[in-house]
Amino acid sequence: MIDLFHNLALGFSVAVSPINLLLCLVGALVGTLVGVLPGIGTIATVAMLLPITFGLPPVGALIMLAGIYYGAQYGGSTTSILVNIPGEATSVVTTLDGFQMAKQGRAGPALAIAAIGSFFAGCTATVLIAVLGAPLTSLALAFGPAEYFSLMVLGLIFAVVLAKGSVLKAIAMIVFGLLLSMVGSDIETGASRMAFNIPELADGLGFATVAMGVFGFAEIIRNLDAGSEMDRELVQQKITGLMPTRKDLVDSAPAILRGTVLGSILGILPGGGAVIASFAAYTLEKKIAKDPSRFGRGAIEGVAAPESANNAAAQTSFIPLLTLGIPPNAVMALMVGAMTIHGIVPGPQVMQKQPELVWGMIASMWIGNLMLIIINLPLVGIWVRLLRVPYRLMFPSIVVFCAIGIYSINNTPVDVVLAGAFGLVGYWLIKHDFEPAPLLLGMVLGPLMEENLRRALLISRGDWSVFVTRPLSAGLMAVAAGLLVLAILPTLRRKRDEVFVESEG
């Protein structure tokens, strides 16, 4: 317990230094700004803004990236409520009741409740990370290569089970990602694999490059297909009375609490994440409500629960990354990329060797959430005005910005071409209803999986049964197998499709 306070104190002492406060603020603001723009999801936002953190010291870079991440979530909910356009997949459900509230002239309370819910969830999640960090880290030290491999299998299976659409196609995308991660040098022998003597491929395909291609460029190309039919039904009347009434607060308090709990749990699970959390929280609220018909007509619980849940999940998904070194979703995978660029290998060692890095980032999340709640409510007007920027001007800007960003990572033009190629691949994937998110997760976990697989088999002298004879590993494998069976069972799948039918990413 004393450790906990000591750690948090260390974190806050790092996070409140003027430069880190500024970076946190800038990250949160820029994240919100990009999050507000429809057509750029969280993953693309983080990928796009990754290069701007390169020149910073590692702590500052991570603080800024974390800020971008939850800022993007926050921006997404603002547009959901005001214009019925979810800026991010995580706030798709928020549109259902949030926009209805806005139409009834209650946009102010809706925004305020979303902010309060997010803030509460953020605080809870921060404490949770601090509490769970140390024990999970010691657990991680007990993990051998076999356990790591099994854990990653479990994570990938989770990602499949929770993704929308066909289980088979999601698995195929993961394996495609794993295969892509094999390009480059072999970790043990240094042999060049599938690189075709292209020097730029010797280090493998850049993760940010692929992410920018399949999420950034592909998204733009697809939006161009749709043309200008995107209807933007702006709520024109002035937003008055930001503060929710007493009744609003009483109504939404339990919903915020439930959303936070649900979101925290789903965030920790590998493969889970903010999108699923918000859907699950909304579904739960609707199920336990006395009068479910209120939902979809401006029920404040319908805003409070998913917004708390997605924020909680966004933050607790840092737990597996920081303690085990395993990114549970695509955004965390990008964080791994950012850490690697700064020479940090995420995992249990980081917590022990660079505590100021980890705790500084955790503390900054709390500060960042506080900043968002204070800054964003007065800025709502500006965000709304941003939505009036037509797409015909926005998309060439994004293209150029992304191109410069990718170029700046390694100063290699080939990376830009590769990102463009992956943009076309991503466009093709969308057209064939393949989800790109599992592909990215596979790509990040690929090298880790290979390394641990090889090590495990080397230790066991080629005996494949290690994965089922070591108890921890066997347990993880059993859960993975069980989940997969459940996912493939057709009856369950139909239900699952109903729940996640609107989910993206």
Partner 1 sequence: MTSDTSSEQPVNSILPKWIRAPQDFFGGIALIAIAVFALWASSDLQGMHGFSFGAGTVPRMFALLLLGLGAAVTVMGLTADGPQLATYHWRGPLFVSLAILAFAISIRPLGLVFSGLASFLIAALGTPETRWTETIIVGVCLTIGCALLFPYVLGLPMPLFPRFLVQ
User: Judged by CB, which is closer to partner 1: 377, or 399?
Assistant: 399
Whats the size of the chain, residue-wise?
Answer: 505
The reply on whether position 172 binds partner 1 by CB under 8 A is yes
**What token pair was written down for 418?**
């590769």
Which of 18, 343, 462, 490 contacts partner 1 by CB under 8 A?
462
User: Judged by CB, which is closer to partner 1: 198, or 345?
Assistant: 198
Amino acid letter for position 94: T
* Distance in angstroms (rounded) separating the CA atoms of residues 333 and 453: 20
Window 39-78: contact mask with partner 1 (x via CB under 8 A)? ------------xx-xx-----------------------
The reply on whether position 229 binds partner 1 by CB under 8 A is no
User: Judged by CB, which is closer to partner 1: 21, or 421?
Assistant: 421
User: Judged by CB, which is closer to partner 1: 35, or 446?
Assistant: 446
Window 247-306: residues binding partner 1 (CB under 8 A) = none
Measured CA to CA in angstroms, residue 83 lies from 97, 234, 242, 275 at distances of 12, 5, 17, 20
- Sign of CA pseudo-dihedral 394, 396, 397, 402: positive
The reply on whether position 169 binds partner 1 by CB under 8 A is yes
Which of 12, 401, 479, 499 contacts partner 1 by CB under 8 A?
401
* Distance in angstroms (rounded) separating the CA atoms of residues 165 and 161: 9
Phi/psi for 388 (5° steps) reads -80, -10
Which of 191, 229, 238, 343 contacts partner 1 by CB under 8 A?
191
User: Judged by CB, which is closer to partner 1: 215, or 391?
Assistant: 391
Window 402-441: residues binding partner 1 (CB under 8 A) = 403-404, 407-408, 411, 413-414, 416-417, 419-421, 423-425, 427-428, 431-434
Contacts of 51 (CB under 8 A, 6+ apart): 208, 404, 405, 406, 408, 409
| Binding segment toward partner 1, per CB under 8 A, in 64-72, 223-231, 368-376, 490-498 | 223-231
Which of 34, 178, 331, 441 contacts partner 1 by CB under 8 A?
178
* Distance in angstroms (rounded) separating the CA atoms of residues 196 and 199: 9
The reply on whether position 168 binds partner 1 by CB under 8 A is yes
CA 216-31-181 angle, to 5 degrees, is 40
CB of 280 to partner 1, least distance (A): 27
The reply on whether position 445 binds partner 1 by CB under 8 A is no
* Distance in angstroms (rounded) separating the CA atoms of residues 480 and 219: 32
The reply on whether position 227 binds partner 1 by CB under 8 A is yes
User: Judged by CB, which is closer to partner 1: 424, or 474?
Assistant: 424
User: Judged by CB, which is closer to partner 1: 281, or 418?
Assistant: 418
Q: How buried is residue 150: exposed, middle or buried, by Cβ count under 10 Å (0-12/13-18/19+)?
A: buried
The reply on whether position 386 binds partner 1 by CB under 8 A is no
* Distance in angstroms (rounded) separating the CA atoms of residues 341 and 93: 35
- State how far Cα 165 lies from the chain centre: 19
The reply on whether position 107 binds partner 1 by CB under 8 A is no
CA dihedral 44, 332, 334, 448 (to 10 degrees): -140
Which of 397, 481, 485, 492 contacts partner 1 by CB under 8 A?
397
* Distance in angstroms (rounded) separating the CA atoms of residues 432 and 417: 23
Which of 231, 293, 393, 490 contacts partner 1 by CB under 8 A?
393
| Binding segment toward partner 1, per CB under 8 A, in 67-75, 221-229, 333-341, 488-496 | 221-229
User: Judged by CB, which is closer to partner 1: 377, or 468?
Assistant: 468
The reply on whether position 220 binds partner 1 by CB under 8 A is yes
**What token pair was written down for 411?**
């100063």
CB of 461 to partner 1, least distance (A): 5
User: Judged by CB, which is closer to partner 1: 131, or 394?
Assistant: 394
Phi/psi for 166 (5° steps) reads -65, 130
CA 138-142-146 angle, to 5 degrees, is 140
* Distance in angstroms (rounded) separating the CA atoms of residues 201 and 193: 9
Measured CA to CA in angstroms, residue 162 lies from 33, 197, 217, 278 at distances of 29, 39, 25, 13
59, 80, 73: which is closest to 17 by C-alpha? 59
Residue by residue, what is the 3-state secondary structure of 111-170? Answer: HHHHHHHHHHHHHHHHHHHHHHHHHHHHHHHCCCHHHHHHHHHHHHHHHHHHCCCCHHHH
Which of 400, 485, 486, 501 contacts partner 1 by CB under 8 A?
400
Which pairs count as long-range contacts for 223-227, CB under 8 Å and 24+ apart, including other chains?
223/39, 223/391, 223/395, 224/395
Size of the site for partner 1 (CB under 8 A): 70
User: Judged by CB, which is closer to partner 1: 114, or 333?
Assistant: 333
CB of 415 to partner 1, least distance (A): 8
Q: Are the beta carbons of 73 and 115 closer than 8 angstroms? A: no
Which of 134, 224, 253, 375 contacts partner 1 by CB under 8 A?
224
Which of 25, 180, 281, 373 contacts partner 1 by CB under 8 A?
180
Binding site for partner 1 (CB under 8 A): 51-52, 54-55, 166, 168-169, 171-172, 175-176, 178-180, 182, 186, 188-189, 191, 193-194, 196, 217, 220-222, 224-225, 227-228, 390-393, 395-397, 399-401, 403-404, 407-408, 411, 413-414, 416-417, 419-421, 423-425, 427-428, 431-434, 446, 450, 453-454, 457-458, 461-463
